[in-house]
A and B are shown apart, each in its own frame.
Chain A
């Protein structure tokens, strides 16, 4: 089956699946899950904030893997996947960086603090914005893609730093509620809603990625036509 048709089928499929997941997710967050005792209703930001961070890590992870693949196999399609995934990763990191301060203001009484978790997340955002800028400034395709792949591989080093920041250093950001040792843990209903929300965001990410890749296919087709016309 041609790649165009596969991308189209997957994109359409993800629209339906993600829409259903989204409706159930909103019901879970606003109706089903109990209100957290100490923070109150504002804690419901958690169900969008944490999955967005998870998806941002996943998106940058995909960029990292496909950048390595591109450097080893030199297939332009690997570079395209890395590029598209980084773009989506920036969107989700922006979600994390905007919902975080909105949650922090009533709970910590400040919009922002320069603690390790928050600062490393901001640095992560800047790294991948830099990656996108590098892509747009380097004219020649193969060379620009090579530079960007190296940049993305080095930039990915910040992802484990962001993840481990509140484990390694004392931060105002709360300690991990999942996989954080004996002190951490979530109420089973809250855990279910969090995992469901992660699944929903995974659906949104995959939909965005397939849609974005389809656009890349159209762009490649356009470049091909332009080349043909230039030589004819």
Chain B
């Protein structure tokens, strides 16, 4: 019992100091106006403009989620059930959009579909200069597309990890009972996948709900989400009490969503029959399988097209292909104080991401264990620990600045503050990927090991760890990626010497000139390459060490 007390104490203390305390500091600001301190809230809820923002934020998130799920499921199926050459690389590529800074995602879409983008250039080139252009910027459609593109990897990763562990026996029994492929999918496979579908759908919803960079760049002023509104109020209008109130509204809303979801997930847990990966993937190749695989792979490549556009643009300078954008990165042309060499920036990003991943894994694993054991009000606790997902990075960074500025917790000058912010944003991913596996673990395995003389520590090392290893690696991958691509909090917290890749990209973007844009694109390509390489290494490591469990 003492051990479990300690288990709960660590993450709780971490969250109390680095999450709740900064939030309370912001809340205090939002209550600072008026006699009762509630003026900012009543003003907010009485204003049809802000109510409209709340409504818009909600329905655009719902539609974006639906679109993302529909696009993500075929790819999840592909990765869970099929082996084909280049699978590892393709899987790593699929995850790329998620770890791209939102600004870069937005840039990718402009590079592809903007007035001067690849699509319009190609259309004009093919059909002549009078061809009507594809106009999608500043429309809802491009926001939906960007959200689906950005969150696609969440669905693919979470669902395919779950799907891969699902024994094909269920589908086979359905077939024997007379269900065709389609009916088997809708009546057997889909219901069994529900826990993972809910997991990913809620994550996608929360991300679309708190979306910032994509909406800011692609949506224009007509389509501001709450997050954009908070940013405007904080940075541009400096109305902190109103921003704080809006942040609280967003926080409460996300908490309710996460609570509903935690309840649903508790109820839909199934005991997973663990089967090694080799036994699940389809080996025999019928023409039908080949067709399905090819179709999904092609669709995937199309989904990923903003990335191609990005790379193509990065490799274009002065009207033709050249490496000028890349070599330009190494020259500090203007002698700027903010200049940092690409090596230094990449090294910063990698070491911060590794440190954040470690903290996120420790906190996330402890919390997941806590949530996995049956207890009353588990869903309330679950939603509470997931809260960092519902807080905007801008809000979090802002909270850090006003709360962690005094001894003994003056972390403003330290790189630790960055790592802590990153791990706060990252650890919910570890929880979400671990929890379904922990809850579905066959009950007697641990007791059986104990009866064979294994101490609780040995049970953890020899039984639980290998079985949850796959989920743990998925969580680690996400944590790493979130830290690599984190932008909002980093912008507020970072010092020039600790600049990360996304920060460097934004600095290049915010300076005028074609060469700076080109270099930003080149830097984005480098980020892609580093992360893709990291993922391939993790995947290889996994297959050798854990045998694909």
Partners in one complex: no
A residues neighboring B (CB under 8 Å): none
